[in-house]
Structure 1
């Protein structure tokens, strides 16, 4: 074996942000790396492409919080609400939703929050050397993140989440109406109060970020193969590679980073994870020159407005459906009405719609571990809508697991056995 490939051959299933970050970290450790995915890295078919772009080292608030059980029915019944569920998909989604609600107990919420902050607090520190090496430092902006409330007493109602952030060392500023206008004059005066996280970052083009990191991995020797992976190849109880439509690719180690499509591969190595497609929608408004500077989360309406290289992006609706189901573009059209409300007078012509399958676990955190019964398989999936945020850190952790070094963070939060 040559010195440059002293670690052996690793096949990474998935060329999204998790896969391309893992490829870079693995090749830096001396592994021969092949990334297998039918899609081009950074292309519109990938989940990472449609991300809102938040890179928040202070992100530690789970999706399932105390009191949500009483809110979900109203959200599902509201045709313009943030959650959609087709009746035909109810049997598919119900077991996951019950687990999701069970994770809203305060004791669980606090432990999940500890896991989230452990992973996310390193996002910028791990991205910065990557983007410098890839020549795309312009894709990491340090501008902060704003939660905007129409109710002037809204921040007081978010005391639990604000307190959880502060307990974990996240800087939080409470803004009144005047301070809101000074920070973001672009948004409607209907928004009367805010919570500002000044240490957070953002990416103005997630698709370009994925493509740039993939290009860097390729320049270091990683191979990108455009094929569907059909299954793992298991011989005499050990994973030997992956079976694709074009034949078998042999491997010493396999990384499962296929996002919402990871479950079948994980089951082959005895790991069952309650993973669902949280289908996310966004719209791009290429002519909406609002002057918006930071990512703005509309606290009551549950959507995000983000300034992007290609215009203004609004995202945030979730639809629980099978990944293969056709898009319900009405979920995207809801966001156009939200844009008209937040940015009165903005030019909303030329709307472009997108849908992607986000890999959601019931507790908002991914599975990151060596498969319990197969020590040459690494699981790295389930990041939900925080895949872009967790990509750089997860890539480093995958390489640490592959080399057998102690991981940079406590991975007990992310074991599949928690399910």
Structure 2
């Protein structure tokens, strides 16, 4: 009898896992309290950022972080009232700000996201409704000067070590590449063979629609618990009643944490609150996704306009959006892209799930039949299809061609 797998979370990781399982013949039920693609997957920058392998915790972050927090032009924000609750996690997170851990994390992320565009193309094969949202393209890092690029030599060195070598464009050639860049941009680091999704929320919704056409059930319901019997998953408790299953995947992003705690396995998981502003019907925007280095956000051409997304704010999951991150996005966008015009704005804030070692949790828990697929921080869209493919393989006992030992949930049984 084919396995019945319940997947909790209808974002890019959950939907990708469901599609790969269904293609292999498994019975799949996808459960989320919201419509597919309307959580964190809705509001990301849309970049298939294969080279986004360098964690925030580079060496030296411990001494630089206080200055970032006190600088109004820095893309790092803190709700200070949340700091006492954040402190234990932050201590674990900052312990990885060293060369050894950074290189280990970078190597693991390369294996997971280094072929992101190919993974999205494979996921959407024979799914034309979803494939229409996938656009192979360059990915540009825009700097005020060559010296600003040079200041990030550590991170670029790690990228080169893992096969990502940029083409540098300077001077007048910057505007020849794309006239959208203003005079404040004098150096580009151009990455080939990347891509973007032109509407992330509707992309995931299209994938979910294809999953439904494959015969899977998509249930809008709130998951309340996962029931075990003798250490083996038995059923998922939802607001609409229980769902019996052979396996369950926790792919609900930051909301996977409460379920993990109910299972007695509290993960070191925290929200990096991310922000975006969509400049609707924008004209004069960059033709490809562009990381504006001065603000550490990405400007991406999308169907609705130009989306500027990024920023890191620590403040938990209960507080509403802050005004300062939106203001920084607007200010830095106008400095870098002064020729852009638009008709209106859409703003959004969501929760990027970040584990203390900047690596997602992928694999089976100590509870048999319970699998984790969350904690992707800034790379959920980039790494979602491959994560889903890996999880499907593990659940069905198929051989893997990717080393996933760095992502095992068991790494949190000991010292982080």
Normalised by the length of structure 2, the TM-score is 0.95
Q: Cα offset for 1:248?
A: 1.1
Aligned position for 1:68 = 61
Matched, 1:127 2:120: yes
Q: Deviations over 1:171-215 (max 9, x none)?
A: 321221233222222011111112111121111111121011111
Write the distance in 2 (CA, Å) between the matches of 1:103 and 1:241: 37
Rounded to whole Å, the distance in 2 between the matches of 1:298 and 1:76 is 19
Deviations 1:20-47 (A, max 9, x none): 001101111211111110111123xx10
Which residue of the partner structure matches residue 37 of structure 2? Answer: 42
Report the equivalent of 2:323: 329
- Give the length in aligned residue pairs: 411
List structure 1 segments (4+ residues) > 4 angstroms apart after TM superposition.
none
Does residue 218 of structure 1 match 2:212?
yes
- Contact 2:221–2:240, Cα closer than 8 Å, also in 1: yes
The 5 A counterparts of 1:184-223 are 184-223=178-217
User: What is the correspondence of 1:69-84 to structure 2 with a 5 Å cutoff?
Assistant: 69-84=62-77
Q: How does 1:39-188 map to 2 (within 5 A)?
A: 39-43=34-38, 46-135=39-128, 136-188=130-182
Q: Which runs of 5+ in 1 are unaligned?
A: none
Kindly report the root-mean-square deviation, in angstroms, between the aligned alpha carbons of the 2 structures.
1.6
| 2:237 pairs with 1:237 | no
The correspondence for 1:32, drawn from 2, 27, 36, is 27
Q: 2:349 aligns with which of 330, 335, 355?
A: 355
Instruction: Provide the residue aligned with 1:414 in structure 2.
Output: 407
Partner Cα separation in structure 1 for residue 98 and residue 164 of structure 2: 22
CA distance in 2, matches of 1:144, 1:49: 22
Q: Please state how far the C-alpha of 1:241 moved relative to its aligned partner.
A: 1.4
1:388 matched to 2:381? The reply is yes
Rounded to whole Å, the distance in 2 between the matches of 1:268 and 1:28 is 31
SS of the residue aligned with 1:230?
strand
Q: How far apart are the structure 1 equivalents of 2:77 and 2:149?
A: 26
Residue 20 (structure 1) aligned with residue 19 (structure 2)? no
Q: Does the CA contact (< 8 Å) of 2:233 and 2:368 recur in 1?
A: no
CA separation in 2, counterparts of 1:345 and 1:22?
Answer: 41
Deviation at 1:130, TM superposition (A): 2.4
Partner of 1:9: 4
TM-score by length of 1: 0.94
Residues 1:402 and 2:365 are matched in the alignment: no
Deviation of 1:270 (Å): 4.1
Question: Partners in 2 of 1:193 and 1:363 — Cα distance?
Answer: 32
C-alpha deviations, 1:371-396, integer Å up to 9, x for none? 1x222111100001210001110110
Distance 1:153-1:80 versus aligned 2 partners, 3 A rule: closer
- Give yes or no for contact 1:277–1:320 (8 Å, CA) kept in 2: yes
Instruction: Name the CA distance, whole Å, in 1 between partners of 2:328 and 2:151.
Output: 25
Matched, 1:249 2:254: no
Whole-Å Cα distance in 2 between the matches of residues 153 and 234 of structure 1?
57
How far, CA to CA, are the matches of 2:259 and 2:399 in structure 1? 25
**Distance in 2 separating the partners of 1:269 and 1:117:** 31
Q: Which structure 2 residues correspond to residues 217-296 of structure 1 after superposition, within 5 A? A: 217-296=211-290
Report deviation, 1:312.
0.8
Q: Is the 8 A contact 1:155 1:174 kept in 2?
A: no
Deviates more, 1:106-115 or 1:65-74: 65-74
Task: Tell me if structure 2 keeps the 8 A contact 1:143–1:293.
Answer: no
Deviation at 1:349, TM superposition (A): 4.4
Note if 1:377 corresponds to 2:370.
Answer: yes
Deviation at 1:71, TM superposition (A): 2.0
Provide the C-alpha distance between the structure 1 equivalents of 2:332 and 2:110, rounded to a whole number of angstroms: 30
State the 1:272 CA deviation: 3.0
SS at match of 1:374: coil
Which one has a larger percent strand, Structure 1 or Structure 2?
Answer: 2
Matched residues in 2 for 1:336 and 1:52: separation? 15
The 8 Å contact of residues 50 and 355 in structure 1, kept in 2 or not, is answered as yes
* Structure 2 gap ranges (5+): none
